[in-house]
Amino acid sequence: MNDPVVFPRPLFPPPARLAVLISGRGSNFEALAEACANGGIPAKIVLVVSDNPAAEGLRKAEKREIPARVVDWAAWPNRQARETALLAALEAEAVDLICLAGFMRILSAAFVARWPLRILNVHPSLLPSFPGLQAQAQALDYGVRLTGATVHFVDAGTDTGPIVAQAAVPVHPGDDAQALAARILPVEHAVYVAALRRVLEGGWRISGRTVRFPGS
């Protein structure tokens, strides 16, 4: 087993510089932005990037006067070119940490390796159950009584990185995927904010896949 790696307190000089990557409505981005604005997270969102020019979250960023960029996946010939453009946007803003918030693209192993333990994602299930797309429908098809939301570090797999925080959500009789998703969404917001705050506060350690915070 590898020796535990301990991360300093705080992880970055506050306020940490965050980039949020989105593809759609940006509700998790809004939760993070509100927490940054009210002091709930020792950070500032310095960049929002979307792979989708029509993403509603871009308008929300503009209303908050947060710089927003489009790296349109369709405009580039291959993944390497797309990620080179994304990397340039992130480096131009001296980003400390990346938060994926409904970003519907898989980042390459090479890209992730440039940001070790500096990319977070929130997923609408209790990982490792139901990774990937349509997690709520997967949970209903399997017949579970509990699902939830997970915040994890991003690695080269799909929703396979070390888990930072989880919160459970009950599955109700008669739920469809839309109803279950609506019940999970506010839990995603809350657990993402709490997990990001704990990560930025530092003092945590990681051994193998296990992330331990001070006092836990």
User: Which are the catalytic amino acids?
Assistant: 123
Cα angle at 121 between 16 and 213, to 5 degrees?
Answer: 65
> How far is it, in rounded angstroms, from Cα 162 to Cα 151?
9
Residue 131 CB neighbours (<10 A): 16
CA distances from residue 196 to 31, 36, 77 in whole angstroms, order as listed: 11, 10, 34
Report the SS3 class of residue 168. strand
Which sign does the torsion angle of CA 57, 58, 61, 62 carry? negative
Exposure of 187 in the CB half-sphere (CA atoms within 13 A): 19
Look-up of token digits 């349509």: 134
Would you tell me the crossing angle of helices 177-201 and 135-142 to the nearest 10 degrees? 120
The H or E element that residue 190 is part of is helix 177-201
> How far is it, in rounded angstroms, from Cα 108 to Cα 99?
16
